[in-house]
Amino acid sequence: MTAVRPSLRLEKKLLGEGRLTVIGMDEVGRGAIAGPVAVGVAAVTIDIGRVPQGLADSKLLTAQRREALDPVVRRWTRTAVGMASASVVDEQGIMPALGQAGAAALHTLVDEGLSLEGAVVVLDGSFDWLTPAVPLALRTLSDPLEVVVRVKADRDCASVAAASVVAKVTRDALMTAAHDEAPHYAWASNKGYGSTAHYDAIRSVGAHALHRKSWLHQASSVALDGFAELDALAG
């Protein structure tokens, strides 16, 4: 089966309808049990150049290819990455955490000189977790920020694919650096996701500050062999 190559078709349609900027947005780390959630953004305007060769949804690329594409994407267009920590996920829930990270990424674009007036965000997925966070975080807009939710946008839309690449590379680097502090969790390889070795390490040495404690409680609440002790280890 031929792989789908992301294009600027949707972005150009939205720009042609009068939007001034199209901002692709995608999250990384949503399903991890450790580390932050990361949300990447990539801004497209009418003068955008050709889509970088080999750009694709970060999940479809090898780590080596993602790392090679990261600087190319950053030269191609304005990008930013926002984070929400494991403690935010625990305290507020995953959807508010995603919104907080997305708003932080938008704030970075604004701080770097991009106006959000006349902008539209193309958000990968089927649920708008960004809008509830925007009124609190971006009060300078004269009109509410428009958000278009699109399933498989990370596969089909070049701006969203670019956002997924910068978010994935940034978060992976953070988890690899965290591995040096706590190598028994093997974060350099699992990037905070729940591999067998990762769960075994939690059982052996307990949970770390980077773990999402509420998620370990949830893991212990399902009837999976050996998970009962995770509840106590999560504290």
The closest alpha carbon to 27, from 17, 40, 16, belongs to 40
181 is in an annotated binding site: no
27 is in an annotated binding site: yes
Residue 31 in tokens = 């399903």
* 146 Cα distance to chain centroid: 19
The H or E element that residue 230 is part of is helix 228-234
Antiparallel, parallel or unpaired: β 119-124 and 21-28: parallel
Please report the DSSP string for 164-209 in residue order: HHHHHHHHHHHHHHHHHH-GGG-HHHHTT---HHHHHHHHHH---T
CA dist., res. 142 & res. 147, Å (int): 15
At 50, give phi and psi (nearest 5°).
-65, 150
91 is in an annotated binding site: no
Return binding residues for a divalent metal cation: 26-27, 124
Return binding residues: 26-27, 124
